[in-house]
Amino acid sequence: MTEPVLSVRGVVKRYGDHTVLDGISLDVREHEVVTVIGSSGSGKSTLLRCVNLLEELDDGQVLLDGVDVSDPRVDADVARRGMGIVFQAFNLFPHMTVLDNVTLAPRVVHRVPREEAERNALDLLDRVGLADRAGGYPEQLSGGQQQRVAIARALAYSPRLLLLDEITSALDPELVGEVLALVRELAEAGRTILMATHEMGFARQVADRVVFLDGGRLVESGPPEQVLGEPVHPRTRQFLRRIIDAGRL
């Protein structure tokens, strides 16, 4: 069995005396799409931020390709280059053109010459269907287009792992589809993805595995038809019933 791309081992995160993550363990293998579900405040964003080393862990480890990147002796800036993350909102830099947004990391962090970085960026923007907007500014794009650019930007330096944190929950309903379609394409192209989402239908169709987070613990984990279809844990059932009542499944 090969090494998982991402291995989260017993991660604990506290804010003050509030334990947000209470010993989370989770593997994501190459080409696997894992979705994290759970009610608001259950710690999904915190988990992704911990994986991306934007938060300091209070215990446990994050391993990327077998390397413990949560070790304080490891340069977090370097470790982050192996991952791309897209947040719910405020992803793009409003003072830069779409093209500069996408080329920033390659140029500044990876020292790719501008011309080459721009060629790659235009390629990526073409793939997310926005090459014609390269010279525009983020505020001239719809929310859905902005999120697609954010995804292109996260892909610009070919990360091993893509982290997506509820990237559709700040969007108008009619814009959700175009973003999810892009994620589905990436999944089909074999990207390794860890994704927090409220879109149960999407999780059911695209995820290889669904994990349910509750009260800082990983309560249930398995293939989508099992976790979403025949959940064994009472908390999972309760959560899914609420989702169904809200008309989201």
Partner 1 sequence: MTSELQRERLAYKRSRSRRSTLVALLSTAVFAAAVGVTVARAPGWPRVRQSFFNVEIAWRSLPAILEGLWLNLRVLAVCGVLIVVFALVVAVLRTLRGPVWFPLRVLATVYVDLFRGMPLIILLYLVGFGLPALRLTGVPNDFVVLGGAALVLAYTAFVAEVFRAGIESVHPSQVAAARSLGLGRRETMRLVVLPQAVRRVMPALLNDFVSLQKDCGLISVLGAVDAVRAAQIEQARAFNFTPYVVAGLLFVLLAVPTARFADALGRRVERRQGGR
| Binding-site ranges for Mg ion (CB under 5 A) | 45
Q: Is 67 in the site for partner 1 (CB under 8 A)?
A: no
- State the minimum distance, in angstroms, from the CB of residue 20 to ligand ADP: 4
Distance CA 86, CA 75 (A): 21
Based on CB atoms, which residue is closest to partner 1, 61 or 88? 88
Sheet bearing 59-64, strands edge to edge: 18-28, 6-15, 59-64, 67-68
DSSP secondary-structure letter at 80?
A: H
Positions in 19-58 near ligand ADP (CB under 6 A):
20, 38, 40-46
Please say whether the beta carbons of 219 and 233 come within 8 A: yes
Q: What share of the chain is helix, strand, coil (3-state, %, to 5)?
A: 40, 25, 35
Q: Is 49 in the site for partner 1 (CB under 8 A)?
A: yes
Based on CB atoms, which residue is closest to Mg ion, 134 or 150? 150
Distance CA 45, CA 195 (A): 10
Positions in 54-83 near ligand ADP (CB under 6 A):
none
Judged by CB under 8 A, the residue of 7, 8, 32, 87 near partner 1 is 87
Residues pairing with 172 in the sheet: none
Q: Is 90 in the site for ligand ADP (CB under 6 A)?
A: no
- State the minimum distance, in angstroms, from the CB of residue 78 to partner 1: 7
- Neighbouring residues of 165: CB distance < 8 A, sequence distance ≥ 6: 44, 45, 48, 49, 85, 86, 87, 88, 195, 196
Distance CA 185, CA 84 (A): 16
- State the minimum distance, in angstroms, from the CB of residue 46 to ligand ADP: 3
Q: Which residues bind ligand ADP (CB under 6 A)?
A: 15, 20, 38, 40-46
Q: Which residues bind partner 1 (CB under 8 A)?
A: 49, 52, 54, 77-78, 80-81, 83-85, 87, 89-95, 104-105, 108-110, 139-140, 153-154, 157
